Amino acid sequence: MTSIARSLRPAASRLLASSRSSQPCRACPFAARAFSASRAAHVKKYSKDHEWVELSADNKTAIVGISEYAANALGDVVYVELPTVPLEVAAGDSIGAVESVKSASDIISPITCKVTAVNSLLEEKPGSINNGPEDDSSAGGWVAKVEVPEAGVKDFEGLMDAETYKEFTEE
Amino acid sequence: MVPFGGFHMPVQYATQSVSASHHFTRSHASLFDVSHMVQHRFQGPGATAFLEKVTPASISQLGTHNGGLSTLLWPVTGGIVDDTIITRLGPQLFYVVTNAGCREKDLKYFEEQLADFKKSGGQDVEWEVLDGLLVTPDEVDLQKLYFGQSQFIKIKLLGDKVSSPLLVSRGGYTGEDGFEISIPGHETVAVTETLLQTATVEKLQLAGLGARDSLRLEAGMCLYGHDLDDSTTPVEAALSWVIGKDRRVAGGFHGEEVILRQLTPKSKGGIGVERRRIGLIVEGAPAREGAEIVDEKGEKIGNITSGCPSPTLKKNVAMGYIKDGFHKSGTNVEVIVRGKKRTAQVTKMPFVPSRYWKGAAPA
């Protein structure tokens, strides 16, 4: 098994040239945040393994998923493996896997955390991950809800913001 | 793009995902670039005898412009050096295609085998590695070009030029009816553009290794280096059908001592095989190369050599080697993917029936 980043390597530049530029952002994260009271609420960051983490305002919980970029590059997802909860993991541990016709990739937790809930919709409709990989609604393709300890917040600080991640994928 | 057999090869093209390309190949047509594969010409009075030494195929029974799959074999052990397509172009002339990934090994193998063949009194064989074929074209009627047959055809290129004679073989590289076209290097781009533009994007698209892999898996076809290797005999690989009928009696090919005895199962007094290649349908997660196959007690009885979710069947298909006795279709086993056992069932291959063009049914 390999991380998403490894699975994507050969495909990365081509996908950037094609689907990224033409496709509208299906899951615009900030548009959906209009109800948020605090500006600091729900900060979203990305890992080099192409996962995203959205940390709640109180730094206690977070939602994890794979990036829109990764979902496009992997192609049609046909199977998603989710962890049994609860599951305590360190940053860099596998919390599941996504399978497309061409590859199987681990979903790597970008932060130290305890997985408390998983998006079981993905077991029945794995394609949800292509339709809205960064959508955290009940119909979305998010992967896991987690509790975040101190160490996890530290890990979070080391991740990339949206702009840096965009540059990273365009390298 | 990925490195493959010393070439940079496309896994997929920007216009289609792997599964879209897979379905398009089944419903319409796709153009695969296979120019990485190695083409050889064997010519001379000793060519038939030489090819019958290194493969178990009935070369002497092969008609002109007919061909098919066979295996190059190691002396004594009968292990598979490479799989190959052999086509007879004339009484003493053969066109042989081998895998790019085995290029160095195969070239050395042919060199050594030819030397041995001559030393043991074999007649002359002239061997060339080609980058295109030049001969006189035949009359064309593709309806009458059946699976396994080939013809030299000239095609009209865009802008009124005419191509060199191209060797067109009706084969099944993808498990679908298809044509393999051997084009001289300098005409490759012109022929490809002509085909794409004439057929239009509605009917013909470029496809890459990704779609090829899922298509050949559905067809139950082996990929050398994954499903076949030097230590595997054709009988273990469930490729006994490449051993010609007359060859089963007369032998005379590399590894015949092993292979001919393996052909008779233990139950009938032969030595049979300890393991054999089988197909599996796996529940839940797709099983891929390297996954272990276990029995009900959790004991290892084999391993997966390739697998993927089948876009056509919407099920996970895989092939692998399993201990003799568990190989019958319908046998329930388990496959370990990411540490978890998944239910699987031994299944007949091809998973998706092939649709090779063998002519219309007799009226």
pTM: 0.82
- CB-based contact A101 B11, cutoff 8 Å: no
- Alpha carbon distance B105, B112 (integer Å): 11
Min Cα–Cα distance to chain A from B177, Å: 22
pLDDT of residue A1: 60
- CB-based contact A17 B14, cutoff 8 Å: yes
Nearest to B342 by CA among A6, A104, A3, A121: A104
CATH of A2-20+41-170, one of 2.40.50.100, 3.40.50.620, 3.40.50.300, 1.10.10.60: 2.40.50.100
Taking the alpha carbons at both ends of chain A, their separation in whole angstroms is 24
Superfamily of domain B1-273: Probable tRNA modification gtpase trme; domain 1 (3.30.1360.120)
Cβ contact B153:B137 at 8 Å: yes
Reported as a single tens digit per residue, the pLDDT across B20-53 is: 999 999 998 898 888 788 999 999 999 999 999 9
- Alpha carbon distance B84, B96 (integer Å): 7
Query: Choosing among A9, A14, A101, A107, which should be mutated to test the B contact, i.e. which has the most B CBs within 10 A?
Result: A101
Question: CB-based contact (8 Å) between A81 and chain B?
Answer: yes
Regions in chain B scoring below 70 on pLDDT: 131-140, 360-363
pLDDT of residue B139: 62
Regions in chain A scoring below 70 on pLDDT: 1, 8-41
- Alpha carbon distance A85, B168 (integer Å): 57
CATH topology of domain B275-351: Elongation Factor Tu (Ef-tu); domain 3 (2.40.30)
* Alpha helix positions (H), chain A: 4-8, 12-15, 21-22, 68-74, 121-124, 128-131, 150-157, 162-170
| Structure-token pair, residue B162 | 């005419």
pLDDT of residue A148: 97
pLDDT of residue B352: 94
The full set of domain ranges for chain A reads: 2-20+41-170
Tell me the CB-side half-sphere exposure of residue B249, using CA atoms within 13 A.
2
Counting beta carbons within 10 angstroms of the beta carbon of residue A156, is it exposed (0 to 12), middle (13 to 18) or buried (19 or more)? Answer: buried
Instruction: Give phi and psi for A76, each to the nearest 5.
Output: -60, 115
* DSSP-derived secondary structure letter, B124: P
Q: Is the ipTM of this complex over 0.90?
A: no
The full set of domain ranges for chain B reads: 1-273, 275-351
The gap from C-alpha B90 to its chain's centroid, in whole angstroms, comes to 22
Question: CB-based contact (8 Å) between A78 and chain B?
Answer: yes
Question: CB-based contact (8 Å) between A18 and chain B?
Answer: yes
Three-state secondary-structure class, residue B211: helix
